[in-house]
Amino acid sequence: MSSIPPKVFVSYSHDTEPHKDWVLALATRLVANGVDVVLDQWDLTFGCDLPRFMESGLTAAHRVLAVCTEPYVTKANAGRGGVGYEKMILTAQVMQDISSDRIIPIIRNNVSAPPVPTFLSSRVFVDFSDDLAYSLWQNCPSC
């Protein structure tokens, strides 16, 4: 058994401050459970090279959590902003290994259909759109 913690990159859009806080709480919970999380909110500082951060983070991660809000899906499908850039990198990785399960879509603040960007439409997702269900997961000591 490996003693190296799994590395997870969190891909999300900066929709609102409450959404950024929610993503931070999710990442903090994962760290508390032994996951090495790559998150812009604590890994980026002023003057950092944002494209390099995204490229190296996505490439080095064992898993990628794609937090699929409506703005995230819109940006990914349109190829806009940081989400569009990350989508381009992830799509290339998916094309190299179409059976890979590295990318895990998480549904949040999203009632659109489909709730994931086109490039993730065949992936099984986790639905955290219900705050009560998320709270139960968050408060589960063995989760």
Q: Domain residues for 87?
A: 7-138
Q: What is the mean pLDDT of the chain?
A: 89
pTM over 0.75: yes
Q: Which of 23, 33, 3, 4 is nearest to 142 (CA)?
A: 33
Is 1 within a domain? no
State the CATH number of the domain containing residue 61.
3.40.50.10140
pLDDT-derived band of residue 135, with 50, 70 and 90 as boundaries?
Answer: low
Is 55 within a domain? yes
Q: How many domains does the chain have?
A: 1
Q: What is the pLDDT of residues 30-77, one digit of tens each?
A: 999 999 999 999 999 999 999 999 999 999 999 999 999 999 999 999
Q: Which of 88, 141, 143 is nearest to 118 (CA)?
A: 88
CA 108 vs CA 89, 90, 124: distances in Å? 22, 20, 14
- How far is the C-alpha of 87 from the C-alpha of 89, rounded, in Å? 5
Is 2 within a domain? no
pLDDT recorded at residue 39: 97
Is 70 within a domain? yes
Structure-token pair, residue 38: 């790559």
Is 143 within a domain? no
Residue 29 burial by CB count (10 A; 0-12/13-18/19+): exposed, middle or buried?
middle
